[in-house]
Structure 1
Amino acid sequence: MSKKLIGAGLLFASSSAFAAYAINEAVKAPPQAPGAVRVAAGPQAPGGSAGASLAAQPQEGAALVDNCAPIRAAIDAARLQNVAVIFGNGAGEICRYKKGAIEYNQKLALASATKLLTGILSYRMIQAGKITANAKPQQYFGYWTNSASDNRSKITLEQLLAFTSGFNTKDANLLSCVYNAYTTLDLCIRRIYLGNLDSVPGAVYFYGPHHMQVAAGMLDAADTGDFGAIFARYVTTPLGLTNTSYALQSAANPWAAAGGESTAEDYAVIMQALFNGTLVTDLNNFFAPRTLTATKGEVPAAILANNGSQWEYAQGSWVECEYGTGGANYATQCANDKINSSPGAWGFTPWIDRQNGYWALIATEDHDNGAEKGVELEQVLQPLMVAAL
């Protein structure tokens, strides 16, 4: 049994082809699951917490049960001061809660919560037949080597999305073109290419900004229009969303790994559509660990600080493996621990628990160690959300 479930987590988130993958608008407001207790925003109860109150609204004739009370209490106790949390399952939203100076429709910088969006876009385009997981940069960039003796010719889209391409540059390296609003995506990728590799593709996991920047250029070249327009075409427009985009560094040079912005409400729609398989049809493949045999070259401190030293990486999301290293069954066990998350540097943390059947997100923008606070709260909320189902 996962340690989260026994409470240890309490220690601390085009065209006809495109039409075939269009999202049913009903996903934004699905019916309530039979027998479920719906918890919705309501007036503040006297003597209640300082956050936005939730009132339980059970079906007619059912006993009043407020399964979200422990969730609210944990949010009130969390180090994050301005935070909104939304939690739901395949049938829709179960409860939401916020405290401090924040709104559900407030645009927030996603930082690395953007990575999940880039992964989703990639797989939407794979499903539409625009690109493949095994596609290579030289298929899209005329200057890219095709020489078998040059490891740059061996990189695949899958490796770029798994941060194992070998382009190992730290996020803190502000000299990177990824942070330059005055260049273009193509020029940035050329600079990354000329910088060469630091490791053999597939051999080392390194949490840096360059992998996804190259992936974004491949997606851009595989379709028509700029990257932002492509993201809207495949992800936000089908969902009817208008407040989610790649805002940084610029429209000409979108930061594919961390430049997104969104609202809690928009991201919740994305999470439910993802959970239901209407965005990505093969979730087992999308969420499967790609780094089981890779050396860990760079893992964010916020992950390591919250029992994440053995987490693996999928396609834009962490696989929250909880079995430790070693053992003949580790790969199988890790793949079966179906919690995937994409925490951002400023605390915005979405995750999906397919084993227990829910999705959730922590929406915040805290520039004072927000990443650690966000993952910390995520770990606390996970067993409480399982209990609330």
Structure 2
Amino acid sequence: MGIAAGSVLAAAAAFAAQANFDGGNGGEGRYLVQLPPAAAPAKASGSAPAVAAPASLTTIVGGYSYDWTALQAAIDADTEVPNGYFIVGNATDPDYLFAYEKGSFGIDRVTPLASASKWFAGALGMRMAQAGIVTLEDPMRPPLAFWTTTGTKKDVKLKHTLSMTSGFNASPLVGGCQLLPAMTLYNCAKSIHDLRYDSLRPGNAPGAQYSYGPHGIQVAAAYLEAKDTSIQPGTSPARERNFHELFAQHVTTPLGMTSTTWYDPSGSAPTNPWVAGGAFSTPRDYAKLLRAFLGGSFITDMTTFTQQRTAGLPRVFVPAGAVNWEYALGSFVECDTPAACATSKINSSPGAYGWTGWIDRDTGYYALVATQIATGGDRKGVELEQVMQDLIEDAIANRTPVP
């Protein structure tokens, strides 16, 4: 109970810092993402770091020379991001196209991701679909046996819970059991099911509204855990894998992500991890995920994974930094206007502390702003990302072959 109570108090303070929502402006929120209960002090991973030297202004990778002078100058000029690690890569070259440490922020620094965790949830759902364990069209019942068989809530499917269209995100500021680590995912999903739907917005059908918040993704995690049919070997009695084991099986182990967990790795795995905002990772690990996304073999159906799922829907709560963007499965679809999201191939997942990773399947690169900023990081990370995108495109377009 002590752990749970501490998380609630810390979370209340975090939520209080975000409580400025403009109800008269289309439901657009002031803040981009929910803060985790508390930002743990960053620490190095257990393995000896192999931090690359700051990138030179020109790199030679894969037979091409890239000039990163303008990109590095823009990063250095941004005084609101004093410390960070910045990576640009592609799907074919094992070396980074660009890697730069600004200030003090090593490539193996373990960092809280906040809402950048959501892309992990989408990836796990897609990987389990590829394995034939789930489908995106799955209803919540029978794996979640408490699920109602009446009303619009009965029609919630896995695709809704991962795309902010489930009906459970009436407000990201409404408290929830996702902040109680000592619960179980199953019981947390039941609490959300019982309290966070029609009682807040009567008649809200799944797929009918776009509302950004943590509750649907928590339900998705409980469903994935309950749906798993693989048996953990060597246990007596045999049991199904828990959420952390599934994440390792389907995501981190295949990619060699050794410093990524859905909790502070210095502690123990909670039975009820905060799936929408509680993961930790390192720049090196997260870059492996982004590279895998771009490559197209880790997630074999990238169209399904990255396509917009909120176009034309009423926007109940939408982050101010993503007013024109749509939402996919755990990531935003970036575009200048909502109509442009239909053809956009840029997906991103920003976090409250500024951590922002994205892939650009048109230009053919992935990039990461890895940082930890206590206040306003969501705005700062996204603003720097937008500046970097044009400069990265220019550097790639103007690369020159090396004889």
Shared fold (TM-score, shorter chain, > 0.5): yes
The residue number in structure 1 matching 2:46 is none
2:141 is paired with a residue whose SS is helix
User: C-alpha separation between the residues in 2 aligned to 1:228 and 1:94?
Assistant: 32
1:58 is paired with a residue whose SS is strand
Residue 335 of structure 1: CA displacement?
Answer: 2.2
The residue number in structure 2 matching 1:295 is 314
The residue number in structure 2 matching 1:211 is 216
User: C-alpha separation between the residues in 2 aligned to 1:59 and 1:360?
Assistant: 16
The within-5 A match list for 1:19-30 is none
Residue 58 of structure 1: CA displacement?
Answer: 3.3
Contact 1:41 1:55 in 2 (8 A): no
User: C-alpha separation between the residues in 1 aligned to 2:349 and 2:156?
Assistant: 23
The answer as to 2:151 corresponding to 1:143 is no
The within-5 A match list for 1:78-89 is 78=78, 79-89=80-90
Structure 1 residues 22-58: Cα deviation after superposition (integer angstroms, max 9, x where no partner)? xxxxxxxxxxxxxxxxxx954xxxxxxxxx3426353
- Cα distance change, pair 53–190 in 1 and its aligned pair in 2 (3 A): same
Contact 1:205 1:298 in 2 (8 A): yes
Of 49, 53, 56, the residue aligned with 1:54 is 56
Residue 151 of structure 1: CA displacement?
Answer: 1.2
User: C-alpha separation between the residues in 1 aligned to 2:306 and 2:376?
Assistant: 27
User: C-alpha separation between the residues in 2 aligned to 1:156 and 1:216?
Assistant: 12
TM-score normalised by L of structure 1: 0.79
The answer as to 2:200 corresponding to 1:200 is no
Report the number of matched residues: 325
Of 187, 202, 227, the residue aligned with 2:243 is 227
2:350 is paired with a residue whose SS is coil
Contact 1:120 1:279 in 2 (8 A): no
The within-5 A match list for 1:374-389 is 374-389=381-396
The residue number in structure 2 matching 1:242 is 258
The residue number in structure 1 matching 2:111 is 108
The residue number in structure 2 matching 1:22 is none
The within-5 A match list for 1:363-382 is 363-382=370-389
Structure 1 residues 168-203: Cα deviation after superposition (integer angstroms, max 9, x where no partner)? 243333x31111122221111111011133322111
Structure 1 residues 239-270: Cα deviation after superposition (integer angstroms, max 9, x where no partner)? 12210110069520111111111000000011
Residue 205 of structure 1: CA displacement?
Answer: 0.9
The residue number in structure 2 matching 1:282 is 301
Contact 1:203 1:293 in 2 (8 A): no
* Aligned Cα root-mean-square deviation (Å): 2.1
Structure 1 residues 78-97: Cα deviation after superposition (integer angstroms, max 9, x where no partner)? 22111111101122321111
2:222 is paired with a residue whose SS is helix
Structure 1 residues 284-331: Cα deviation after superposition (integer angstroms, max 9, x where no partner)? 121100001211111123x1xxxx321100111101122x25xxxx3x
The residue number in structure 1 matching 2:358 is 351
User: C-alpha separation between the residues in 1 aligned to 2:171 and 2:372?
Assistant: 21
The residue number in structure 2 matching 1:24 is none
Structure 1 residues 193-232: Cα deviation after superposition (integer angstroms, max 9, x where no partner)? 1113332211111111100000001110121311011000
The residue number in structure 1 matching 2:157 is 156
Amino acid across the alignment from 2:270: A
User: C-alpha separation between the residues in 1 aligned to 2:59 and 2:275?
Assistant: 40
The answer as to 2:270 corresponding to 1:251 is yes
Contact 2:86 2:368 in 1 (8 A): yes
Identity of aligned residues (%): 40
User: C-alpha separation between the residues in 1 aligned to 2:52 and 2:116?
Assistant: 25
2:97 is paired with a residue whose SS is strand
- Cα distance change, pair 66–292 in 1 and its aligned pair in 2 (3 A): closer
- Cα distance change, pair 194–94 in 1 and its aligned pair in 2 (3 A): same
User: C-alpha separation between the residues in 1 aligned to 2:359 and 2:77?
Assistant: 23
The residue number in structure 1 matching 2:188 is 188
Of 116, 127, 132, the residue aligned with 1:129 is 132
Amino acid across the alignment from 1:294: L
Structure 1 residues 322-369: Cα deviation after superposition (integer angstroms, max 9, x where no partner)? 2x25xxxx3xx4221111110001111010111111111111111110
Unaligned runs of 5+ in 2: 1-31, 33-50, 229-239, 397-403
TM-score normalised by L of structure 2: 0.77
User: C-alpha separation between the residues in 1 aligned to 2:125 and 2:169?
Assistant: 21
User: C-alpha separation between the residues in 2 aligned to 1:136 and 1:291?
Assistant: 19
User: C-alpha separation between the residues in 2 aligned to 1:106 and 1:41?
Assistant: 13
Unaligned runs of 5+ in 1: 1-12, 14-39, 43-51
Amino acid across the alignment from 2:341: C
1:245 is paired with a residue whose SS is coil
Structure 1 residues 119-169: Cα deviation after superposition (integer angstroms, max 9, x where no partner)? 01100000110000011111211111122xx11110011011111100024
**Deviates most, 84-93 or 343-352:** 84-93
The answer as to 2:286 corresponding to 1:267 is yes
Contact 2:57 2:67 in 1 (8 A): no
